[in-house]
Amino acid sequence: MPDGRIDLPLLTPNHPLGRQSVTCEYRCGNACSHDAPNTSGNTYFGDVVRSIVSRRGMLKAGAVLAVAGAGAAVVGGAAAADDSKHQSENSDRHRRPRGMDFKPVAPNTADQVTVPEGYVQSVVIGWGDAVLPGAPAFDFDNQSAAAQAKQFGFNNDFCGLVPLWRDQYLMVSNHEYSSESFMFKGYSSANPTEEQVKIGWAAHGMSVVVVERDRRTGKITPKVDRRYNRRITATSTFDVDGPAAGSAFLKTKADPTGRKVLGTLNNCAGGVTPWGTVLSGEENFNQYFANGKEITDPVTKARLARYGLAGGASGRKWERFDDRFDIVKEPNEVNRFGWVVEIDPLEPNENPVKHTALGRFKHEGANVHVARDGRVVAYMGDDERFDYIYKFVSKERMRPGNSRYARAHNKKLLSEGTLYVAQFTGDSPDFTPGVLPADGEYDGVGKWIPLASGDQSFVDGFTAEEVYVFTRLAADKVGPTKMDRPEDVEANPRTGLVYAALTNNTDRGKPGKEGPTEINPRGLNRHGHVLEWEEAGGDNTALTFSWRLLLVCGDPNSADTYFGGYDKTQVSPISCPDNLAFDRHGNLWVSTDGNNLGSNDGLFATATSGPERGHLKQFLTVSTGAETCGPVIEDKFVLVSVQHPGELDDASADNPLAHWPDGGTSQPRSAVVAVWKPGHRIGS
């Protein structure tokens, strides 16, 4: 279209109204306006035979949440009163949490990043800034693919730090997606140019940048470092490892080995491993591939449909310039995306790796926790309405230290192990939506159902290769719990308790869709919730666990919200939790995506135990049209990724309606922002 706008579908009733439709179109192919691809009819939460485990039985088995993670359930005065009792009983065991002493930021719609009183901020690096030596100065009106390949990519999401030496870090950022009508004036979504497409390829992927903190001022600045700085794009070479490497499902004309892939797409969240690498999740990869509706083989068609690939031309039209994005011409290329990627920022000459042992789905990300026996556990969410939570337990144990031998061993830990999917059961057999369970809280137990380990499948009718490559369909067969868009899943490094952000699900309870369950307690869920669980015996490799809800998000004045039992008149409103992080005190930090309460998205923090559990406080808000991503919480600073600023339905590069971070009449640019309090630690 000559005005630079993208052709947008009409908003449907299940569209998450806190997010602009142009963002939905570019980031996920407008997934929420289509039917959820999980159409399986397996048994779920409300129908599980509850008599096999009663709450009293679990108490006797010692598998309930530890006192340090205690908190009551969701909604209503009875739950709050019950949790207050818990807090009163335990208040003498806990000091008020450190790291939470800041005045909350009020909800707002300002075209700026707003931080607490006494804090300062600066942009670390933004779209188009130099990453590699020789990168030209960013010129919006004269961008090229060659320039973009040396510059910081578009729409930075996850951000992670790997220490290099004192006050220097390797900062790794994901570049989730490109928004072409905000990148090019006069952009035509029907007829993009080859150069525009190639700029889009270069704008995707990841950036590795050396950043340095000035100990005197606190400011963090990037360095154009010749040794470590790196750009990974949609055309970079990746190695495939794990049990599905070399599978017939991964072989293409360009790669008959099934072991080398070009590029990574739609990299959303991620995590820093204990051995100093970075994991990145390939999420909404389906939108980049065209002509799925032309496939007639029923088995292949069902596989494509389960991953949301039933359409015609892609939104970006990449298939016009590379046949690998046309499913008819290259049917297996799509199977080479949807993995967890591992990159070693300390080894810039190593190819990144796609780990097939962790399964293939719409990975929000992956976060690793070291279990007591030294094995590592990776927790993962499949970010789709009614999809599942997974974990992977390694076969081998982590080796301590940073020697070359130890790091080489540890970088293989995610190559072999067992992949599981979660089934959650409530402890209230007579659960009724909108009615607080008789025991005064929304909680229960669960189990991990094995899917595959090495070359062994645990799913009837599926080979191990099929489990790894078509994980969603394999999981459908074993009865996991349908969740409300599982996003970040991360273990608290101090307690081992695990937390999951469930962003929203406006389809829950609609005709023909699964209704509210004790773990997903609201129909037409617009605001999401945060789940907490403890693995049995505190062992993160265990096969059973107990759970409860920490937050049911939304307006605190609404009866259907819950904040860990804390006084709701004292908390910040929150909507659509997305990414999670922890500070060194064990406080949980939550960033949001798609605020449905009329405010800009933000970053929030709460204690997870003691009398301040659930006392949610907003630390910052991001600018107009943006979401808050990739929080990094250090003692002396916080980093957030401000993604898709100015991405508003009536805006485009020809008509910018927001101008952060450069101000004036400038085009908006995604960027990483540092926030700190001069002379103090964060939250002190």
pLDDT in tens, 172-215: 999 999 999 999 999 999 999 999 999 999 999 999 999 999 99
Q: What is the pLDDT at residue 70?
A: 28
pLDDT tens by residue, 576-598: 999 999 999 999 999 999 999 99
Q: What is the pLDDT at residue 118?
A: 97
Q: Which residues of 481-520 are buried (b: 16+ CB within 10 A; e: fewer)?
A: bbbbbbbbbbbbeebbbbbbbbbbbbbbbeeebbebbbbb
Placement of tokens 């830990």 in the chain? 413
- Give percent of the chain with pLDDT exceeding 90: 82
Among the listed ranges 58-62, 321-325, 551-555, which one has the minimum average pLDDT value? 58-62
pLDDT tens by residue, 403-438: 999 999 999 999 999 999 999 998 888 888 766 677
C-alpha dist (Å) from residue 654 to 4, 155, 192, 360, 657: 6, 19, 16, 38, 10
User: Is residue 115 classed exposed, middle or buried when 0-12, 13-18 and 19+ CB atoms within 10 A define those classes?
Assistant: buried
* CA gap 163, 160 in Å, rounded: 10
**How much is the average pLDDT of 458-476?**
98
Greater confidence (263 vs 94) lies with 263
Three-class DSSP category at 533: strand
pLDDT tens by residue, 121-132: 999 999 999 999
Single out the residue of 557, 556, 602 nearest to residue 576, CA to CA: 602
Write the DSSP string, 195-221: HHHHHHHHHSEEEEEEEEE-TTT--EE
Confidence grade of residue 66 (pLDDT, cut at 50, 70, 90): very low
* CA gap 591, 586 in Å, rounded: 16
Three-class DSSP category at 341: strand
Q: Give the sign of the dihedral formed by CA 145, CA 151, CA 157, CA 160.
A: positive
Long-range contacts of residues 140-147, Cβ cutoff 8 Å, at least 24 apart: 140/653, 140/667, 141/185, 143/183, 143/184, 143/199, 144/195, 144/199, 145/195, 145/198, 145/199, 145/201, 145/202
Placement of tokens 């008789």 in the chain? 438
* CA gap 86, 73 in Å, rounded: 11
**How much is the average pLDDT of 598-602?**
97
Structure tokens at 129: 């800034």
Single out the residue of 170, 116, 168, 14 nearest to residue 596, CA to CA: 14
C-beta separation of 497 from 491 below 8 A: yes
Beta strand 353-355 pairing with 237-241: parallel
Confidence grade of residue 9 (pLDDT, cut at 50, 70, 90): very low
Of the CA atoms within 13 Å of residue 503, those in its CB half-sphere come to 29
Q: What is the pLDDT at residue 435?
A: 65
Q: What is the pLDDT at residue 42?
A: 59
Structure tokens at 142: 């004269």
Is residue 354 over pLDDT 50? yes
Q: What is the pLDDT at residue 46?
A: 36
* CA gap 461, 481 in Å, rounded: 20
- Give percent of the chain with pLDDT exceeding 70: 88
**How much is the average pLDDT of 454-461?**
98
What average pLDDT does the structure give for the chain?
Answer: 90
* CA gap 222, 125 in Å, rounded: 7
In 593-668, where do the E strands start and end? 602-606, 617-621, 627-633, 638-643
* CA gap 244, 403 in Å, rounded: 29
Whether omega for the bond prior to residue 437 falls within 30 degrees of 0, making it cis, is no
The DSSP code for 398 is P
Q: What is the pLDDT at residue 527?
A: 97
**How much is the average pLDDT of 477-490?**
98
Single out the residue of 263, 222, 24, 235 nearest to residue 128, CA to CA: 222
Q: What is the pLDDT at residue 33?
A: 65
Is residue 308 over pLDDT 70? yes
* CA gap 364, 385 in Å, rounded: 13
In 273-331, where do the E strands start and end? 278-282
C-beta separation of 210 from 222 below 8 A: yes
**How much is the average pLDDT of 145-155?**
98
* CA gap 677, 120 in Å, rounded: 6
Three-class DSSP category at 621: strand
* CA gap 356, 354 in Å, rounded: 6
Three-class DSSP category at 101: coil
**How much is the average pLDDT of 238-247?**
98
Confidence grade of residue 27 (pLDDT, cut at 50, 70, 90): confident
Q: Give the sign of the dihedral formed by CA 355, CA 361, CA 363, CA 366.
A: negative
Q: What is the pLDDT at residue 39?
A: 84
Phi and psi, residue 92, nearest 5° = -75, -10
**How much is the average pLDDT of 484-498?**
97
Phi and psi, residue 385, nearest 5° = -60, 130
- Decide: pTM greater than 0.85: yes
Is residue 76 over pLDDT 70? no
Write the DSSP string, 8-63: -PPPPTTS-TTS-HHHHHHHHSSGGGS--S-------GGGS-GGGS-HHHHHHHT-
C-beta separation of 626 from 592 below 8 A: no
